[in-house]
Amino acid sequence: MRIDVLTLFPKMFENVLGESILKRAQAKGLAEIRVHNLRDWTSDAHRSADDKPFGGGAGMVMKVEPVYEALEELSGKSKVILLTPQGKRLEQGLVKRLAKEKRLVLICGHYEGVDERIRELADEEISIGDYVLTCGELPALVLIDSVVRLIPGVLGDDESAKFESFENGMLEYPQYTRPAVFKGKSVPQVLLSGNHKNIEDWRKREALKRTRERRPDLLRKTKN
């Protein structure tokens, strides 16, 4: 998969993309992530990518021209996504759909907002939650991380993704590792039994219990 990111602050991506799973995914050639400075597609001497809103008001608005020019050069046969609080909420089902795409282009909004005509250039608008951030770079990183880890071969064990939270409409079961006893608190005995059938049954029960307690809305979605 190739992911192109259009941003006014490319340095915000350097550390995250250069660590852990995302770094390994790129090193293996499973993901190609290119971060582009939108100012490279501006035409004035000041490389202006924003301007005052028509009609007055606070803040600055991201200009449409640099985004248009960048997409003309980069998009090709890509799904273009605008990161915006007005978009569809990013959930695991959407992540799985995006992970099947061959190429994504992410537009990071900034300032007071984006020129409305930028929305017309996007195939989809996505939000990571019902709150407002100062920029679209952080949501873009969240989307990249959630999508890339689902590409076959990225995780050390592809099976592990099948048993995580939000898969099958439930939260993940509790996990433990050594030591078996810590400050008087013991690992459930069933996990030490070696009986795989009993362990699997325990995990299913605990996942259901945890989901009922913490996110009953997930179970309602599954029923619907």
Is residue 162 predicted with pLDDT exceeding 70?
no
Phi, psi of 35 (to 5 degrees): -105, 125
Task: For residue range 111-139, list pLDDT tens digits in order.
Answer: 778 999 999 999 999 999 999 898 999 99
Q: What is the CA radius of gyration of the chain?
A: 22
Q: If pLDDT is split at 50, 70 and 90, which confidence band does 160 have?
A: low
Is residue 49 predicted with pLDDT exceeding 90?
yes
Domains 2-148 and 164-223 equal at CATH topology level: no
Is residue 164 predicted with pLDDT exceeding 80?
no
The ranges assigned to domains in the chain are 2-148, 164-223
Query: What does the pLDDT read at residue 132?
Result: 87
Round to whole Å and give the CA distance between 89 and 166: 14
DSSP SS3 for 86: strand
Which homologous superfamily does the CATH classification assign to the domain defined by 2-148?
Answer: SPOUT methyltransferase, trefoil knot domain (3.40.1280.10)
Instruction: Read off the pLDDT of each residue in 173-183 and give the average, rounded to a whole number.
Output: 96
Integer angstrom CA distances of residue 95 from 75, 101, 102, 131, 138: 20, 10, 13, 19, 16
List, edge to edge, every strand of the sheet that includes 2-7.
Answer: 32-37, 2-7, 103-108, 79-89, 124-127
- Give the right CATH number for 164-223 from 1.10.1270.20, 2.60.120.10, 3.40.640.10, 3.30.70.960: 1.10.1270.20
Integer angstrom CA distances of residue 52 from 48, 63, 72, 111: 11, 10, 25, 10
Query: What does the pLDDT read at residue 168?
Result: 75
E strand or H helix that includes residue 150: none
Round to whole Å and give the CA distance between 77 and 89: 24
Dihedral of CA atoms 88, 94, 100, 106 in degrees, nearest 10, equals 30
High-pLDDT (> 90) share of the chain, %: 83
Instruction: Read off the pLDDT of each residue in 164-185 and give the average, rounded to a whole number.
Output: 88
Tokens of 70: 């960048």
* pTM, to two decimals: 0.88
